[in-house]
Amino acid sequence: MANKSRILVTGAGGFIGHHLVKRLKADGHWVRGVDLKYPEYGTSAADDFQVLDLRVWENCLTATRNIDQVYNLAADMGGIGYITSFLADISKNNILINAHMLEASKQNDVKRYLFSSSACVYAQSKQKNAAVTPLKEEDAYPADPEPGYGWEKLFAEELCRYYYHDYKFETRIVRFHNVYGPLGTYDGGKEKSPAAISRKVAKATDGGTIEIWGDGDQTRSYMYVDDCVEGLVRLMASNHRDALNLGTDEMVSINHLVDMICGIAGKKLTKEHDLTKPQGVRGRNSDNTLLRKVLGWEPSMPLEKGLAITYKWIEGEVKKKEVGELAEVTGD
């Protein structure tokens, strides 16, 4: 493959896609970005940005014309509250996007296609303990993924394999474990836990309270967005066609995540646990054995350092919003 490629990033108006476009441009590639919306924070670095609904077949054909590589990050998704509430819509929307994008990419002679899957594909039976055994790629089977979002991701992984089996169409499959960082959604219901907690801490008064979904003992690992982008670029360049974890193996409880963010903010807050809210699987962590073997690399940003950068950005956004709302009230 040529050093400089014509690359399509779908979901380029979203968090990971926005950062990926910047990285690919910095590497000297020509980049087309496609999304239902423009980036929420800042402008896209893409050479060509198109607002297209990729649930529509013709739009996928348009998006993939004269393209060498596709990073298909487009998805209807969000935090645990969102993905547990809209099972039919999420499944329908993402199946349409993924089936259309694969076929359009094949028809338009795309050389390589990367599909963004999720740790939500992993069997729920293997995630019932907070001290979870890190999840290896083969732990997705026997299949018992999260309803809706997890099932459609697992099916789309299989579809990628079928396209290689039947057509020798080169596909890559990445399984994201919670990605966080600046320029991401932090309110509105689609935000992930680091962003949601950062927002709550930023809005809280020192000495006040913070609401936590569940008992807070559920565990996760979190990957900084720059590490995520690096992993995507490396996987696309590799010859690995099977699903690959992309995450850190630094596991923390939600309670500890809250403590870390409070420490970064210099605030002491009392946790109030809401056991009626969704909290997802009890424990989830990434086994990076295969990642290290395939890419000779793994994410390296320490959680506390990445959270400090993320919190500072979210705190700034919260303050800007509060100033704007105050101006509306006072008429300034």
- Position 322 scores a pLDDT of 87
329 band by pLDDT with thresholds 50, 70 and 90 = low
Q: What domains sit in the chain, N to C, each tagged with a CATH number?
A: 6-180+223-246 (3.40.50.720)
- Position 79 scores a pLDDT of 82
- Position 215 scores a pLDDT of 95
pLDDT for residue 88 is more than 60: yes
Please confirm, yes or no, whether 41 is among the known catalytic residues.
Answer: no
What number is the average pLDDT over the span 314-332? Answer: 80
pLDDT in tens, 176-196: 999 999 999 999 888 989 999
pLDDT in tens, 107-143: 999 999 999 999 999 999 999 999 999 999 999 999 9
pLDDT in tens, 224-271: 999 999 999 999 999 999 999 999 999 999 999 999 999 999 999 999
301 band by pLDDT with thresholds 50, 70 and 90 = very high
Angle between helices 87-107 and 149-167 (to 10 degrees): 20
- Position 330 scores a pLDDT of 63
Q: Which of 82, 149, 222, 311 is catalytic?
A: 149
Range with the lowest mean pLDDT among 10-24, 48-62, 176-190, 239-253?
176-190
pLDDT for residue 1 is more than 80: no
What predicted TM-score, i.e. pTM, was given to this entire model? 0.94
What number is the average pLDDT over the span 1-12? Answer: 86
pLDDT for residue 99 is more than 50: yes
Buried (b) or exposed (e) across 58-84, using 16+ Cβ within 10 A? ebbbebbeebbbbbbbbbbbbbbbbbb
